[in-house]
Structure 1
Amino acid sequence: MANETNPILANIFEQPAELHRVLDDLCGPHLDKVREICALMQSYDRVVLTSMGSALYSLMPMYEALVDDGWRNVELVETATLIHHPERVHHDTLYILMSRSGESREVADFAAWLDAHGHEAACVTMTPASTMATHCAHVLHDVASYDKIVCIKAYSSMALCGLFIAHMAGRTEPDATLVSALHGALDWMEANKRAILARLEEVPFLSATDCFYLISRDEGVNMARSASLWIEETAKVGANVMTADNFYHGPMELVRAQGITRTRTTPVLIDVCPDERSRMIWGYVNDAAPDSLYFGFDDSARAGARFTFPELGLDGPWMMLVEAIYFQLLSYQVALAHGVEPGMFFEDGWVVK
C-alpha cells in the first residue's frame, strides 16, 4: 500500500485537481493577462524562453507547442547562459521567464539585470511578489498551490500556463474543444493515478537498475529530460537522455555490453514519432536488455514492462501534461526500490540565500 502521506506522492496525486483549477483560472480571471503577453510576443522580432532547474523543463512544452505552430523566432535558453553572455541579450527580443518561487538565483538576478538595462520581460510564477516578478512588467500568476518540497505540481501547472500562452498566441478566445479535452485528460489522470502507481510497483527489475537511458524523438526528448530530472532528484539514480536515432550511433554499446560490465542500465523508450527504424532500434535494445520500460501508444511493443498512453485527443506538447505523471510516479517508485525516502534532499541550493 502506497504511503500517500509522503510529500512527493501527495503532490503527484494532487496534480489533476490543481491543474483543473489552473485551467479554469487561465480561461477566466487571468485570460486578459495571457492575451497581454501574447500580444507582446507578436510585437517582438524574437522570443526567448528562459529559466533554470525544474521551471526550465516546464518551459519545454510551451517551446514545443510554439514550434509546432510555426514560430521560428523562439528559443529556449538556460538563464545562466544569458547571465554569462550579456552580449547575447538584445532589445528586439522579449524575454519570458518562469519560476515557481521567483527567487532562484539566476532568474532573480537576470530579471533585475533586464530591468536595469531597459529590457521588457514577462514571467510566469506562483509568487507574484517575488524578486523576479517585481522586475518583470508583465506577470502571469500560476494559482496552483505550492509543492511541499520540490516542483512536482509546479512543473505541470507552470507547463500548463506556458502551453496556454502558446495556444492563445494569434487568437482571442480559447478553443472550447481543446479546453474540454484538457479537462477530460485531467479527469482521466485523477481516475487512473493509483492504477499507474500499482503497475509500477509490479516492475521487478527497478531495484537492480544502476542507471536509466531514456530515448525518444521530437517533444518526447524534452519529456525524457524532465523524467531524468525527477529520477535523479527523487531517486538519486542516474538517467541519461538521447534521441533514439543518436542512441544507436554509439551509446547502444552501454546496453549491449551489460554481460561484461558491472553497470545495469535500464533502457526506457518514450515512443514519439515511431517508424520502422525506431522499431528496429528498440528491437535491438530489447534483444540486449529485456528488462526495459516502454511508454507510448503501441500496446504490442516489446518491453520488460509496457505502459500504454491513453488516446485523449491532445497533440504531443499537450500530452506531456499527462505523460508527466507516469515519470513522476516512476521516480517515486525507483526511490523506494533503492531504499531512498522520496523527498529526501541534501540541500536547496537553487533558492536565493
Structure 2
Amino acid sequence: MPQYPNRQFLDFEQPIRELYEQIDQTKKMAEKNTKIDYSSNIQQLEDLIVEKRKEITANLTPWQRVQLSRHPDRPYTMKYIEKMTTGFVELHGDRNVRDDKAMLGGFAQIDGHTVMIVGQQKGINTKMRQQRNFGMANPEGYRKALRLMKLAEKFNKPVITLIDTPGAFPGQEAEERGQGEAIARNIYEMIRLKVPVICVIIGEGASGGALGIGVGDRVLMMENTWYTVISPENCSAILWRSWEKKEVAAQQLRLTSTDMKGFGLVDEIVPEPSGGAHWNYTEAAAYLKDSIVKALNELKNISPEDRVNQRIEKFGRMGFWNE
C-alpha cells in the first residue's frame, strides 16, 4: 500500500501518485537495509513531487480545473473558517421552516475584524454529504443566509460569503417552497446591504445556487474554481444529448477564473498552492485571508451610500449587448 492511503488522486495526478509510491517503496527498503542511507533518494523524490505539481498546475485545461474544484480532498467552507478565523459562532435556522445544513454561517474574527461568514458546505464523508445535501441549499438555506446578512447589517459588521455549490437543490419540494423567489430575494437584498460584502468562489460556482450569495462589493475567485450558469455535464446533455462532450462544454463555457476576470465578472483571482488547494489547506487559507483582509480594509473607508451605489453600478456594467 502507498504511504499516503487517505489521499485521492485525479487521472491527471497519477504521475504524482507514482512518485509517492516510489517514496513508500524506498522507505521500506530503508527499513530492511539500515546500513544504507536512503534519505537523499527520498528527498529527490519529494522535490520531484513539488516540480510535478507545478507542471500539472501550469497546463490545466478548463475541464481539469472543474475536476480540481470538485476534488474530494479540497477544503470546504468549514475548513477555511477554521484556518482563517477565530471565535466562530455558528447560527442556525431561517426562523420559518428549518435549519438547512447545506448553508452555514455565523460571526467570527478575522485579523481583528468581526465579520459574518456565510457559505455552502458539501460534507467531508458520505454521511455528512447526505446530511449537507452535497452543498445544494433549499429555499430555507438562502433565507437563512439572508437572515444572517441582515443581522450583520444591524450590527454594522461586514459580510463574507464562501461559494461552493453544484447549484441550488432542484427538487419538487424546493420549488414548492419558493426556490426561485428565495434566490431572487437574496440578490435584491444583497445589492442593497449597507455593510461591506465580499464574495469568494472557493470551489464550484454554479447557476443561481451561487448567485444567491454572490452579490458583493468584491467578488474573488480562487485559481482552480469555476463560475458559470450551468455545469459542463448538464450543458453537454442539453446540447449534445450526452455527457460525453463535457470537456468541450467546459472549454466553450469559458468558466475558469482567468475567463471570469477577463469578462470583468470577478475582481481578483486568489492563488492556490502548487497543484491545487487540496495539497496545503493552511497555505490556501493564508492566500484567501490576505485577499479578504485587503478588501475589508479598502471597503471600510467608503460610506454606506457610496458602497451601495458602487455595487449597483458594478453589477449594472456586467454583460455584453448592442443597441
TM-score, normalised via structure 2 length: 0.29
Pick the structure with greater CA Rg. Answer: 2
Higher relative contact order (CA 8 A, sep 6+): 1
TM-score, normalised via structure 1 length: 0.27
